[in-house]
Structure 1
Amino acid sequence: MDVAIAFEGRVGNQVFDCTDTYTLGSTNTEVQITDFRLYVHDVRLLRKDGSEFPVELTQDGLWQHENLALLDFENKAGACANGTSETNTTIKGRVQAGSYQGITFKVGVPFNLNHADAATAPSPLNLSALFWNWNGGYKFLRVDAAPTAGGGAFNVHIGSTGCTEDASGVVTACDRANRPEVHLTNYDPLSGKFVVDYAALVAESDLSQNAGGAPGCMAGKDDPECQAILGRLGIHVDDGSVHPDEQKLFVAE
């Protein structure tokens, strides 16, 4: 059967808007959010008995490619001038007919698609703003915030780190995959929506200053800001292990 799975970018109890300001983090810093995009893949719906059924994504040539989709909550308005005017808040596809009570998916780009050339990749993998480089691959999650009082940005760019190449330059492995997993149950995934809440992600973070490393969290295991950010994505900084029950970014509503 055809399915449409709805997502909503949220900042606390407010629907995300590029023209708004928000008071966030452990020090109640007023910020504007200048980007809010993420890739998801391996979407599966769950039945009451826990069995999983993969969603075959519609190949629309724009937002979805193979088993990957881009969710884009910014619209180039206001503070999001470097984004795109088009938005996407729905994953569309087909799944075996039945009654479902949950969803599971991964945030990020699967390894087989992650280390390509964004300049020649199909949409939605052709966005330079969501690409680091051939070795590191894509920014799986990008949310940028700019404190209104100045002092530098607080950027959340999550992607794979510590990637290694063979003699021919092909990436063969990454020390930290950094692909958060989401597992939400006891909810009909086709009747409501899934909230992506940036306020929950940065609740333990001081957005007013850089404690070291890149401004914000660029997924570095030694970056002081990444301890809280990765933790709230369900990723343990000490070993890179993924724990879906610990993530705070996604909730069902």
Structure 2
Amino acid sequence: MELTFIERGVIAALFVGLIAPLIGTLLAVRRSSIISESLAHVTLTGISAGVLIGQSMEMVQVNPLYAGFVFSLAGSLIIEKLRQVYPHFQELAAPIILSAGIGISAILMSLANSGYNEWYDYLFGSIVSVTEADLTFIMFTSLLVAALFLLFFKELVSVSFDQEFAKVSGISVQMIHFLFSFLVALVISMSMKVVGILLVGALISLPVAAALQIAKSFRKLLFWSVMIGEIAVMLGVYGSYHFDIATGGVIVVLASFLLLAVMAIKKFSVRL
């Protein structure tokens, strides 16, 4: 049975709302949530390159989602390398990649002969633009991320909390770093059609920020991050469709309101 465009958008949003906050919890624990913003801009570079290649070489059709993933993975590996090069200034890695990604994206976008609407969908998300191929990529990517996350859950958590302890325990820290970079790249590339490149970092971090206000353990942090992410995504999809506004913008604004609401409720309960 062929799905309608709105059904494809809703299913894609459900998967994104589940997976993005899941990886966001590990980024928060690592105190490196800014990496998602950097990789998002690198992903935009990949998308721009894919669009430009498709226009320049008619015989070669490159799906921008796949090109975005390749660039995002490369960017994540470069960030890990830069964090080793600057061991005492590891926070420099993210802005270096972010700046380079924006610069290259601007050049490629100016060379590509694409309309405003196409770039708008990539930058801010649009559920109505999710194709069958996009949905297949999002679903496959989500299942792969979830499977790897569960399979290496103990190792990922151990390395995120205490790398020295992980080394002593016999965990290959370098391998887990690569796996984590792979997962982050997958999540960002799968989320861009729903949330948009400029806003995917917010969906990764805002639900986690809200969950941190109420969670008493890491497992509860995972649960509440996913729940808040799904609420924001579903309400955002509903609002963007009925009011004909940017999907990613509505999702992020709702996630921000949920964060403020959780903070207000917590403060009120403490006073009581």
What TM-score comes out, normalization by structure 1 length?
A: 0.33
Higher fraction of strand: 1
Bigger relative CO (Cα 8 Å, ≥ 6 apart): 2
Higher fraction of helix: 2
Return the index of the structure with the highest Cα Rg: 2
